[in-house]
């Protein structure tokens, strides 16, 4: 009996490791309450959340679809963080319109659906660069396209895409055009169409066969143009879609991803959750093993002491 009590005690000690290993699970609206202060964070608005036109309407949806009874009791509109998203799917100012709107240097506020002159600060890769806009430097993720990786992980045609982009941007006369439902992604990168002179850089990359996939989480203004250029590149065998390039990709063990409505292979733009049950975060197996190890150690210690 004594051994059974010790075993049960160790098992209960292990339980918290796995039971609380998944903080921040998203609800059906695409958000969750922050445990420290019960602020509601709307990370990835679902179609259901986008039905709300105001924060007051969003409060009602949260009351209905979120299961955190403790935080819901004191929920008010001013305790909702939209995380840069616009309610009702409307263009306009969001809560994270601009990192530069703090008034320190009189910078203009960035808005959706606008075009801004930009100066190249640094090339990063085929679909990312740093620009100075209104006196503030923004790491900018090009809307809609994915080019092969060329920074931490080097994929076939990643360097070519990076060189192509950098060469075009060094021509100057750059305009950034904001579009979609959010100005920034979860990594605080500005999202924009990139114009060099009168040419759309995303379209030129696609036509050169340097776009491998799309992230399509909304209605973007120039989708059709870029898709048309992408199909042309595949048809003519440009860039990574040539026969020789296909052989190189197979030799490198890199699979060509099919064109999809949603981007699934990369993680820098996670898909918006559209009526799906979100996956839990964390490492449940790891936490469980740690809990078992702690329980076994405690069991051994108690046996030694008794």
CATH of the domain at 219: 2.40.50.90
SS3 199: strand
- Are 127 and 221 found together in one domain? yes
For residue range 243-270, list pLDDT tens digits in order: 766 555 555 544 333 333 333 334 343 3
pLDDT digits (tens, 9 = 90+) for 217-253: 678 999 999 999 999 999 999 999 987 665 555 555 4
Same domain, 121 and 174: yes
Active site residue 177: no
The answer to whether residues 28 and 61 belong to one domain is yes
> Are residues 85 and 119 both part of a single domain?
no
Residues 222, 199: Cα–Cα separation, whole Å: 12
For residue 25, the model assigns a pLDDT of: 67
Residues 51 and 153 in one domain: no
Q: What is the mean pLDDT of the chain?
A: 76
Task: Say which residue, 44 or 101, is predicted with more confidence.
Answer: 44
CA dihedral of 267, 152, 139, 208, whole degrees rounded to 10: -80
Q: What is the Cα–Cα distance from 186 to 79, expressed in whole angstroms? A: 19
Identify the pLDDT of residue 85.
77
What pLDDT was estimated at residue 35? 79
Same domain? For 34 and 46 the reply is yes
Q: Point out the domain boundary residue: 90, 123, 149.
A: 90
Asked which of 205, 235, 251 is the last residue of a domain, the reply is 251
Whether residue 266 is contained in a domain is answered as no
50 and 172, same domain (yes or no): no
Of 209, 228, 251, the last residue of a domain is 251
Least confident piece of the model among 9-18, 29-38, 50-59, 222-231: 9-18
Q: Lowest-confidence range among 12-16, 36-40, 97-101, 127-131?
A: 97-101
47-61, 125-139, 268-282: which is most confident: 125-139
- Count the domains in the chain: 3
205 within some domain: yes
Largest distance between two CA atoms of the chain: 82
Element (DSSP H or E) covering residue 175: strand 174-177
Share above pLDDT 90 across residues of the chain, in percent, rounded to a whole number = 40
Please confirm, yes or no, whether 96 is among the known catalytic residues.
no
Residue 110: inside a domain: no
Containing structural domain, residue 67: 23-90
Q: What pLDDT does residue 99 have?
A: 42
Q: Does residue 139 register a pLDDT over 80?
A: yes
Q: Which of 28, 44, 141, 249 is catalytic?
A: 141
Answer yes or no: is pLDDT of 210 > 80. Answer: yes
The yes-or-no verdict on residue 50 having pLDDT over 80 is yes
Give the mean model confidence (pLDDT) for residues 163-177.
97
- Among the listed residues 44, 149, 203, 212, the single catalytic one is 149
Contact status, residue 30 vs residue 273, Cβ threshold 8 Å: yes
The pLDDT value recorded for residue 29 is 85
Q: What is the model's pLDDT at position 175?
A: 97
Residue with tokens 């021509």: 171
CA–CA separation, 38 and 60 (whole Å)? 16
User: Mean pLDDT over residues 284-301, rounded?
Assistant: 69
Q: Which entry of 28, 160, 168, 189 is annotated as an active-site residue?
A: 189
Residue environment code for 54-73, b if the CB has 16+ CB neighbours within 10 A, otherwise e:
ebeebbebbeeebeeeebbe
- Whether the model clears a pTM of 0.85, i.e. scores above it, the answer is no
Instruction: Assess whether 228 and 187 both reside in one domain.
Output: yes
């Amino acid at each position: 009996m004594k051994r059974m009590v010790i075993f049960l005690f160790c098992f209960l000690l292990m339980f918290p490791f796995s039971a609380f290993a998944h903080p921040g699970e998203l609800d059906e609206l695409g958000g969750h309450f922050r445990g420290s202060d019960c602020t509601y964070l709307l990370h990835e608005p679902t179609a259901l959340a986008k039905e709300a036109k105001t924060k007051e309407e969003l409060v009602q949806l949260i009351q209905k679809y979120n299961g955190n009874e403790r935080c819901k009791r004191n929920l008010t509109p001013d305790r909702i963080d939209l995380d840069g998203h616009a309610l009702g799917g409307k263009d306009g100012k969001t809560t994270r319109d601009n990192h530069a709107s703090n008034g320190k240097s009189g910078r203009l506020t960035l808005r959706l659906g606008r075009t801004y002159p930009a100066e190249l600060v640094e090339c990063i890769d085929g679909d990312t660069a740093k620009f100075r806009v209104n006196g503030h430097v923004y790491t900018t993720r090009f809307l809609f396209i994915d080019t092969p990786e060329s920074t931490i992980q080097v994929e076939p045609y990643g360097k070519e895409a990076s060189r192509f982009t950098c060469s075009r941007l060094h021509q100057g006369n750059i305009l950034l055009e904001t579009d979609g439902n959010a100005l920034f992604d979860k990594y605080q990168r500005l999202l924009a169409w990139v114009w060099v002179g009168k040419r759309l850089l995303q379209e030129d990359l696609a036509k050169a066969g340097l776009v491998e996939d799309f992230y399509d989480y909304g209605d973007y203004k120039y989708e059709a143009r870029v898709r048309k250029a992408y199909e042309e590149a595949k048809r003519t065998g440009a860039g990574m879609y040539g026969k020789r390039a296909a052989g190189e990709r197979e030799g490198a063990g890199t699979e060509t991803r099919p064109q999809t409505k949603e981007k699934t292979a990369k993680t820098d733009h996670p898909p918006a959750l559209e009526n799906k049950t979100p996956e839990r975060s964390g490492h449940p197996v790891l936490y469980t093993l740690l809990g078992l190890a702690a329980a076994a150690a405690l069991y051994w210690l108690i046996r030694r002491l008794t």
